[in-house]
Amino acid sequence: MRHVIIIGSGPAGYTAAIYAARANLEPLVIASSVEAGGELMNTTDVENFPGFPEGIQGPDLMTKMQEQAERFGAEVLYDDVVDLDISGPVKRVTLGSGTVHEATTLIYATGSAHRKIGIEGEERLSGRGVSYCATCDGFFFRERTIAVVGGGDSAMEEATFLTKFASKVYVIHRRDELRASKIMQERAFANPKIEFIWNSAVVDIVGEDVVSGLVVRSTVDGSEREIALDGVFVAIGNDPRTHLVHDKLELTSAGTIWVDGRSSRTSLPGVFAAGDVIDPTYRQAVTAAGTGTVAALDVEHFLAAVGEAGAPDVDADQIEGLAEVDAA
Ligand code: NAP
């Protein structure tokens, strides 16, 4: 039986793995079969992760994190978790291959999944002009007209990136101001290929076999119009990936996994959570990495308390103290 299994291979999962591996806990990381590395695998320039003044490509950053974890003894499996039995003292993780792994503790760091608009045409034309990943699919839209839906950092990043390929990029946003950070907004505003369509909700995506247009409805006067285009990139945020633990762990009203104060302790002993799956607010690579650290330290404390591992790096009172400050 393992000391710890980490589910998820984004910044939270790999940072937890680095810390747990350096504490000789020989963590097993379940990295997923197709989504290993998490969201940053679909990102281009990461300019705000400290330590990389020139920026770094998202996939390169994730490869470095994985290598760092493996260097200290983490084992990485490219498989998907299909079932969890985590209520007892032994945590059992069943993978798609049928293999069952057991551990005393579990770190749940599954991140979040792309949010869908939920309209006709979106599902039907997914992969046929509807995409959730500019870096994956942008190449297919050379000299085409496309739209990005959303007003956050993701939408600005995708729109700016897509101008490398597309001849025109509409950004369709439901309000008249963006949620994106100032720097990302300014970059998009300065790009001559980007045109903003404000106060507009996408109510239909049309096309027989491939996307040929979309219908927007004004959020001001309710009027509708169709815009001819070849592709739609949906970038309206993410929802925490909690489907495996819905009936097992307490969730917050935001749909994230509930954790105790600033710790990573969930509602079940021995189960810890980190990264976007616990964070309805900040959701940055660096904050996810920070909570991955917290989870690994909490695991160390837990194992020490149940007599399974040596003394942890941080005084237990320190973490208790932090939780109390947060609750105050
Ligand atoms: P987000 O900040 O939650 O923004 C989502 C956007 O989509 C908002 O503008 C929202 O509109 C809109 N939206 C949500 N649901 C919608 C719906 N059903 N129909 C139409 N529009 C909808 O999500 P995000 O842009 O993916 O960013 C998530 C986090 O990652 C943020 O913390 C962001 O800073 C971070 N991020 C950072 C970078 C970077 O720094 N390089 C890049 C990408 C993401 P409203 O504004 O009206 O709510």
- Indicate the domain borders of the chain: 2-114+238-327, 130-234
Q: Check residue 42 and give its pLDDT.
A: 74
Beta bridge partners of 113: 239
Amino acid at 61: L
Q: Is residue 298 among the annotated active site residues?
A: no
Question: Options 3.90.1570.10, 3.50.50.60, 2.60.40.10, 3.40.50.300; which CATH number does 2-114+238-327 get?
Answer: 3.50.50.60
Residue with token string 């496309």 = 146
Per-residue pLDDT of the chain (328 residues; tens, 9 = 90+): 999 999 999 999 999 999 999 999 999 999 998 889 988 887 777 888 999 999 999 999 999 999 999 999 999 999 999 999 999 999 999 999 999 999 999 999 999 988 999 998 999 999 899 999 898 789 999 999 999 999 999 999 999 999 999 999 999 999 999 999 999 999 999 999 999 999 999 999 999 999 999 999 999 999 999 999 999 999 999 899 999 999 999 999 999 999 999 999 999 999 999 999 999 888 889 999 999 999 999 999 999 999 876 545 544 444 444 344 344 3
Can you say how many angstroms the Cα of residue 209 is from the centroid of all Cα atoms in its chain?
Answer: 30
What kind and span of H or E run contains 103? Answer: strand 100-108
Q: CA nearest 121: which of 196, 210, 34? A: 210
Q: Per the confidence metrics, is the pTM higher than 0.75? A: yes
Report pLDDT digits (tens) over 151-192: 999 999 999 999 999 999 999 999 999 999 999 999 999 999
Q: CA nearest 280: which of 239, 313, 326? A: 239
In angstroms, the CA 18 to CA 21 distance is 5
Q: CA nearest 9: which of 30, 26, 24? A: 30
Report pLDDT digits (tens) over 44-80: 778 889 999 999 999 999 999 999 999 999 999 999 9
**3-state secondary structure (DSSP) of residue 147:** strand
**Ligand 1 centroid vs 101 CA: distance in angstroms?**
36
The DSSP code sequence of 16-38 is HHHHHHHTT---EEE--SS-TTG
Q: Check residue 325 and give its pLDDT.
A: 37
The DSSP code sequence of 260-321 is STTS-B-SSTTEEE-GGGG-SS---HHHHHHHHHHHHHHHHHHHHHTTSS---SS-HHHHHH
Q: Is residue 313 among the annotated active site residues?
A: no
Q: Is residue 221 among the annotated active site residues?
A: no
In angstroms, the CA 253 to CA 183 distance is 31
The reply to whether domains 2-114+238-327 and 130-234 share a CATH topology is: yes
Q: Check residue 46 and give its pLDDT.
A: 85
Q: Give the CATH number of domain 130-234.
A: 3.50.50.60
Q: CA nearest 274: which of 244, 246, 240, 307? A: 240
Q: Check residue 135 and give its pLDDT.
A: 83
Tell which atom from ligand 1 comes closest to the C-alpha of 151.
9
Query: Does the beta carbon of 111 sit less than 6 angstroms from any atom of ligand 1?
Result: no
**Ligand 1 centroid vs 250 CA: distance in angstroms?**
25
Determine the residue of 48, 174, 238 to mutate for testing ligand 1's pocket, defined as the one with the most ligand atoms within 8 A of the Cβ atom. Answer: 174
Q: Check residue 43 and give its pLDDT.
A: 73
Among protein residues, the one with the nearest Cα to ligand 1's atom 33 is 153
